[in-house]
C-alpha cells in the first residue's frame, strides 16, 4: 500500500482549476520500471489510473474509463497520443517543458512534478501542472 497526494492545476480558456486528491494506491516494480496505481473518483465512478515511471526518465499516465487516455511525458519533446471516447478517437499531443522525478529509499517514496501543454492539432487545449508525492 502506498499513500498518494496529487495536486493538479489546469488552465483552459484562461480559467484556472485546481484538483487535490489524497488516496491509497499500489506501487509495483517490474524490472527497472515503477508502476503507481490508484483510483480517482469521477462523478461517483472509480477511474483506474496507472503512472509508469520509465528507466529513461519519461513518464506515462493511463486513465481507463468511458474515455481512455494514455499520455507520455518526455522532457522537452512533443509526443503524439490518442484520446479514445465512445464517439471515436481524437488525436492529441503533449509538450513537456518541465518534468522532475525524484525517488528515495527508506522508506520508498517519490516526488513527481510535470508541467505540460495539451494540443489538439495546432490548437492549445490546456496547460497542466501535476505535483504528486507518494510514500510506502
Q: d(Cα 69, Cα 55) in Å, to the nearest integer?
A: 21
Question: Cell for 70?
Answer: 494514455
10 Å CB burial of residue 32 (0-12, 13-18, 19+) is exposed
Residue ranges with strand state E in 14-77? 15-30, 33-42, 45-53, 59-64, 68-73
pTM of the model: 0.91
Question: Cell for 32?
Answer: 527497472
Does residue 50 have a cis peptide bond before it, meaning omega lies within 30 degrees of 0?
Answer: no
pLDDT of residue 79: 96
Question: Cell for 97?
Answer: 517543458
Question: Could you read off the pLDDT tens digit of each residue along the chain, which spans 136 residues?
Answer: 999 999 999 999 999 999 999 999 999 999 999 999 999 987 888 999 999 999 999 999 999 988 899 999 999 999 999 889 889 898 999 999 999 999 998 888 999 999 999 999 889 999 999 999 999 8
Amino acid at each position: 500500500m502506498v499513500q498518494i497526494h496529487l495536486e493538479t492545476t489546469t488552465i483552459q480558456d484562461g480559467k484556472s482549476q485546481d484538483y487535490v486528491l489524497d488516496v491509497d494506491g499500489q506501487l509495483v516494480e517490474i524490472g527497472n520500471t515503477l508502476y503507481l496505481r490508484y483510483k480517482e473518483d469521477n462523478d461517483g465512478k472509480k477511474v483506474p489510473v496507472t503512472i509508469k515511471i520509465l528507466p529513461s526518465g519519461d513518464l506515462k499516465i493511463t486513465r481507463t474509463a468511458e474515455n481512455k487516455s494514455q499520455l507520455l511525458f518526455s522532457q522537452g519533446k512533443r509526443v503524439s497520443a490518442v484520446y479514445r471516447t465512445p464517439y471515436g478517437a481524437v488525436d492529441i499531443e503533449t509538450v513537456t517543458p518541465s518534468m522532475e522525478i525524484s525517488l528515495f529509499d527508506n522508506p520508498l517514496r517519490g516526488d513527481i512534478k510535470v508541467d505540460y501543454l495539451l494540443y489538439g492539432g495546432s490548437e492549445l487545449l490546456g496547460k497542466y501542472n501535476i505535483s504528486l508525492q507518494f510514500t510506502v
